[in-house]
Amino acid sequence: MNILEARNISKYYSRHTALEDVSISVPAGSVYGLLGPNGAGKTTLIRIITQIIGPDKGEVILNGKKITPQDIYRIGYMPEERGLYRKMKVGEQILYLAQLKGLPKDIAIKNIKYWFDALNISDWWNKKVEELSKGMQQKIQFICTVIHEPELLILDEPFSGFDPVNAEIIKKELLKLKAKGNTIILSTHRMESVEELCDNFCLINRSHKVIDGPVNEVRHKFKAHKYELIISGLTQELPTAEIPDFHLLETHKVSDDTLHLIFRVGDSISTNEILKKFLPYGEIELFKEILPSIHDIFIELVGGQADE
């Protein structure tokens, strides 16, 4: 079941089109990647979903119903451009933002304590934001996003500006939230940074949707029949001639009798058949099909059109 569907969304500004007929479907309980270069229209789509701006065409469906202003309580949004009131105390600030999300005060305080413990910042309540380092502020921003226990989390460029340690902490917390059944939308132009987290994704370029679907399915669909092989104990030449359309892409000798190969084959032969051909020739240390990354797919689909 889809928790969120955006149907045929278009948004026009006076001098340019921000989105043209973009539709996405986000399955409940999954991590969804909204990918594309800067300026593709990702943030506009998110702002339409979070009802900060309205679409010129199309509609947003949440849990099977057209989205209403009340639904903002079910969404947690961390914008790309994020900040906090510098002079306000950390605790009061999160409490204020939580109350704006409709959370009663007592529950808000309970949740803040939970997150303070989870992120090891128990004694931060009375600190002023301006006293915190950037990394510390990012933790607070993350708490502000999840404080009202939203079903749907939308994080725009979540890892930009995060240091690697904090990014790792946040990734872990996101996976925990996913395990609890929350749905997470990650938007980023750095496709490789979220590929491993996402179950489904959508590629947007120049206001248009390029492709969407489950990450694995799409990668298989775009596979170039590329393989990587490390084989040792070689006594004779590999039977590459028996494999249709065999193209050696890279090779190097690891030792006298060990070879590391990367090659491409035609699509008439299956992975198992290739493996069978190599099995008698030595000890197979590694054999895997190289699937294209989302970035590769993006390049293949839009070629030189990317604005990056």
- Within 74-93, which residues bind other proteins (CB under 8 A)? 75, 77-79, 81-88
d(CA 94, CA 138): 13
* Minimum CB–partner distance for residue 154 and other proteins (Å): 9
Is residue 99 part of the contact set for other proteins (CB under 8 A)? yes
Task: By CB under 8 A, name the one of 38, 57, 59, 100 that touches other proteins.
Answer: 100
Residue 43 neighbours by CB under 8 Å, 6+ apart: 79, 80, 156, 187
Binding marks (x or -) toward other proteins, 2..31, rule CB under 8 A?
------------x-----------------
Which amino acid type is present at position 286?
A: L
Residue 265 · residue 245 · CB < 8 Å = yes
> Encoding tokens for residue 263?
């090659």
**What is the pattern of x (binds other proteins, CB under 8 A) and - over residues 126-145?**
---------------x--x-
Residue of 128, 122, 124 whose CA lies nearest to 89:
128
50 lines the binding site for other proteins (CB under 8 A): yes
Distance in Å from the first CA to the final CA of the chain: 34
Question: With binding defined as CB under 8 A, does residue 97 bind other proteins?
Answer: yes
Select the residue interacting with other proteins from 72, 147, 152, 191 (CB under 8 A).
Answer: 72
CA of residue 25 relative to chain centroid, distance: 14
Told to check if 47 binds other proteins by CB under 8 A, we report yes
Helices (H), the chain: 42-49, 90-100, 105-118, 134-146, 164-179, 215-221, 271-278, 294-302
Instruction: Kindly state the smallest distance separating residue 219's Cβ from other proteins, in Å.
Output: 33
Chain residues binding other proteins by CB under 8 A are: 14, 47, 50-53, 72, 75, 77-79, 81-88, 96-97, 99-101, 141, 144
